[in-house]
Amino acid sequence: MHKPRGCIALLVLGAICFSAENSPAQMEPQAAAGKFRESVSLDVNNAVLKKMGSVQDFLAGAQWEDAVNSLIQISAEYGDTLYPESPGRYLRVAEYCQNLLAGFPPEAIQIYREKVDPRARRWLEEAEAQSSVGPLLQIVDQTLMSSYGDDALYRLGERAWERGELGQARDYWRKLLPPPPGAEGGRDAGLFYYPDSDLPVPPILARLILVSFFQGDFERAEAELAVFRERHPQAVGSLAGQEGNLAEQLSKILSDRSQVSLPRDQREMQTFAGHQTRNFRVGHQLDVGAATWSFRVPLVWSQEYTRKPAFGQRVPPGLFPVVNGEHVFINDSERIYALNWKTGAPAWSNDPQASPIIYPSVLQGAVRLPFRSVVGVPRFTMTVADGRLYARMGSPVTSVAKDERLGLFSELVCLDLEQGEGKLLWKISSAELREQNFVWSFEGAPVVAGDRLFVVLHRGFPEVQTNVACFSTETGEMLWNRKVCLALRNIEEGVNYITHLLLTLAEGQLYLSTDMGAIASLDSLDGKINWVVTYPSEEDVSRRDLSDHMTTGLVPCLYDQGILFVAPQDTRKLMAFDATSGLLLWERDWPEQIRNLLGVTATTLVVSGNQLFGIDRANGALRWKTGYLDPEGFGYGRGLLAGDNVYWPLREELLVVDIERGLLRQRIALYALQGTTGGNLIVAGDQLLIAQPHRVTAFGNHGMVPASPGQKENHSATKAQSR
């Protein structure tokens, strides 16, 4: 894997054109990356590698015209393929060509602009006439080094700011600045700088300070302002519609922190980890009292896997409910249940004996078990967006054994919650996604943006392949399907394999940790790959470990303020990347497998496995840890952040720990007092819900009188009839 390259790592954390002494984001030196055997095959074209070699020869001979013509041709013919910019880091060819052009001498850049400026000018005029973003994106994608590239970057930054996409705004504006002192010169194509913009620097720096401020990073904004005031005390310009001295305007804005709305105000957990960035923090502290209701989820065919064999732990806590309004939704491979989270009664009904099952509308016959052995941990996820529920249903198997006799298909279903009380709007079966008799499987639940949803596809034959696909939320029609990587199969062909990969969606970009040696970023608009990073993958993993929920977790990427935190399940590395470029900020080898990325604050990343850890988000250093060494006291299920605390479930207890200092605030005896266990934590209103392996239990506040074990249980899920 590539390592941070000096000031580049400093730059991407926001110390743009500010002195290193004033930057809170300095990186520690790291050793040069060693070579490793990649476990994935990416869309790299050998013809591009050969042609890029010719470009370097032209540059060495000062043959600027030939070098420019070659890059234009390469970008036009192979722009959407990948190029190995550095060991373990791949960029889209079109982007790499623009990065390379930015390092050309002025006479070569002028030759390029003479060829592409007419086209770029037309796009800019079209954007102005139509107030459209599309033509600006075309400039950035195809002719960024034209004379109009800086204008496009500036305007796209303004549009991103207006949409509240602060990380995107920062990235656009950052590219307009010259490299900071000490940056690698020459033709390094790792990060783009527009080399000769005529836009004044101080107004751009002022906007970057505002990005830091409105992201809630007040300390960083103040440090940047101090450097700005020293270097540009007389600079004038317009901010927030006001003309005047920029330093004075910034001081006034930064003095009023009440303007900043931080994401800790989130309340409803509408997908896995609460939010599609996979970073969720309840704004208030939880007051966990007595159990108020309990709902038993009947075990389905996954309980029979132990005969195949499968799990080290018979049934894992694999339920991840979601909340919408006054309802909580729970799914397994066959059914979706809807309850009122205040009472535990069936949703949309005054009859406590009504069935809570909203999907399927008519129960099917008995599901046949797989013929071949099954390896992996079944997990069940859903996403709520715009009054609709999207669920991944059907067989949890994603790589079907070569000689499996049954069709182990999966489904995506869309239910209407706003007007239809769970009515089915559409359903897509993986059986419909055949390619030359090879069937795709859906991984986890989709992420949703507007009228589009995005989901990971997987298949085991003829090669192990992972894709990301986009579907219409209105019709379920596929809009695009992009290959991410191929991999060597890490289990026998005669075994059914369960995985459950989840995408992360942030500011128009998709992020995927494949758990097989690669991390990728894609543009949600068209599925084009922005970058891919590879790392050494552990290959000798036993069936038992793959099937034990205590050794492997469900860990999508976590995004926050332009940084991507990743803990792949095929390595014990914990990593942080600049989300826009894929540049590594830091990595740490962890002593145990991280099974959950629980959330991140302005200073602390909280992760869990057997124990609970608080990590410095800036450099990956361990700040604190807590937990037991006895396996009976290991983490059991997924915790959450609420207020200033992290709530972390063990098998028989719930620990409440201060996020910043790691101090144990409270121990709640779940089993001794309530007769219940830990599991996956969900917040619904002012109540805490715990999704155990085959039960969901709700807890009221401290004023409730403890109920005896088993009291007030809702057995309506066992009814044979459904809605």
Task: Map 261-294 to HEC letters.
Answer: CCHHHECCCCCCCCCCCCCCEECCCCCCCCEEEE
Confidence (pLDDT) at 675: 86
Query: What is the 3-state secondary structure of 170-196?
Result: HHHHHCCCCCCCCCCCCCCCCCCCCCC
Least confident of 302-311, 376-385, 434-443, 610-619: 302-311
Report helix, strand or coil for 367: coil
User: Could you give phi then psi for residue 353, rounded to 5 degrees?
Assistant: -95, 0
- More confident position, 12 or 172: 172
Query: pLDDT grade, residue 324 (50/70/90)?
Result: very high
The residue-averaged pLDDT of 318-340 equals 96
Which residue type occupies 253?
A: I
Cβ-based neighbour number of residue 198 at 10 Å? 7
The residue-averaged pLDDT of 49-70 equals 94
Express each pLDDT in 440-478 by its tens digit. 999 999 999 999 999 999 988 778 899 999 999 999 999
Please determine, for residue 710, whether its predicted confidence score (pLDDT) is greater than 50: no
Express each pLDDT in 102-129 by its tens digit. 999 999 999 999 999 999 999 999 999 9
Least confident of 266-270, 395-399, 529-533: 266-270
User: Could you give phi then psi for residue 651, rounded to 5 degrees?
Assistant: -65, -40
Which residue type occupies 466?
A: T
Dihedral of CA atoms 453, 326, 637, 714 in degrees, nearest 10, equals -120
Query: pLDDT grade, residue 326 (50/70/90)?
Result: very high
Express each pLDDT in 403-446 by its tens digit. 776 778 899 999 999 998 999 999 999 988 877 667 799 999 99
Residue 684: closest CA among 326, 361, 227? 326
To which H or E segment does residue 613 belong? strand 612-616
Confidence (pLDDT) at 304: 46
Out of 241-245, 451-455, 713-717, give the one with best mean pLDDT: 451-455
Least confident of 16-20, 184-188, 283-287, 563-567: 16-20
Q: How many helices (H) and strands (E) does the chain have?
A: 13, 45
Domain 265-718: CATH architecture, name and number where available: 7 Propeller (2.130)
Please determine, for residue 8, whether its predicted confidence score (pLDDT) is greater than 80: no
Express each pLDDT in 197-212 by its tens digit. 999 999 999 999 999 9
Query: What is the 3-state secondary structure of 210-262?
Result: HHHHHCCCHHHHHHHHHHHHHHCCCCEEEECCEEEEHHHHHHHHHCCHHHCCC
User: Could you give phi then psi for residue 53, rounded to 5 degrees?
Assistant: -60, -40
The residue-averaged pLDDT of 36-57 equals 92
Express each pLDDT in 510-563 by its tens digit. 999 999 999 999 999 999 999 999 999 987 777 787 878 888 899 999 999 899
Please determine, for residue 676, whether its predicted confidence score (pLDDT) is greater than 60: yes
Angle at 87 between CA 82 and CA 88, to 5 degrees: 65
Q: How many CA atoms lie within 13 A of 187 on its CB side?
A: 15
Residue 499: closest CA among 395, 401, 593, 398? 398
Confidence (pLDDT) at 608: 97
Express each pLDDT in 133-162 by its tens digit. 999 999 999 999 999 999 999 999 999 999
Rounded Cα–Cα distance for residues 246 and 235 (Å): 6
The pTM of the whole model exceeds 0.85: yes
Confidence (pLDDT) at 314: 54
Q: How many CA atoms lie within 13 A of 199 on its CB side?
A: 23
Rounded Cα–Cα distance for residues 395 and 128 (Å): 50
Q: Which percentage of the chain shows pLDDT scores above 90?
A: 69
Rounded Cα–Cα distance for residues 490 and 484 (Å): 18
**C-alpha 690: how far from its chain's center?**
24
- More confident position, 722 or 380: 380
End-to-end CA distance of the chain: 52
Query: pLDDT grade, residue 313 (50/70/90)?
Result: very low
Out of 256-265, 325-334, 404-413, 532-541, give the one with best mean pLDDT: 325-334
Joined together, the tokens standing for residue 435 give 């390619």
Please determine, for residue 289, whether its predicted confidence score (pLDDT) is greater than 70: yes
Rounded Cα–Cα distance for residues 489 and 546 (Å): 14
Joined together, the tokens standing for residue 448 give 């949703």
Q: Average pLDDT over the chain, rounded to whole? A: 86
The residue-averaged pLDDT of 670-681 equals 90
Confidence (pLDDT) at 311: 40
Joined together, the tokens standing for residue 316 give 């894992």
Query: Which long-range contacts link 143-146 to residues 24+ away (Cβ below 8 Å)?
Result: 143/116, 143/117, 143/119, 144/98, 144/192, 144/194, 145/98, 145/101, 145/102, 145/109, 145/112, 145/113, 145/116, 145/194, 146/112, 146/113, 146/116, 146/117, 146/119, 146/120
Where exactly are the structural domains of the chain? Answer: 41-196, 265-718
Query: pLDDT grade, residue 706 (50/70/90)?
Result: very low
User: Could you give phi then psi for residue 412, rounded to 5 degrees?
Assistant: -110, 130
Least confident of 64-68, 246-250, 304-308: 304-308
Assess contact for 122 and 74: CB atoms under 8 A.
no
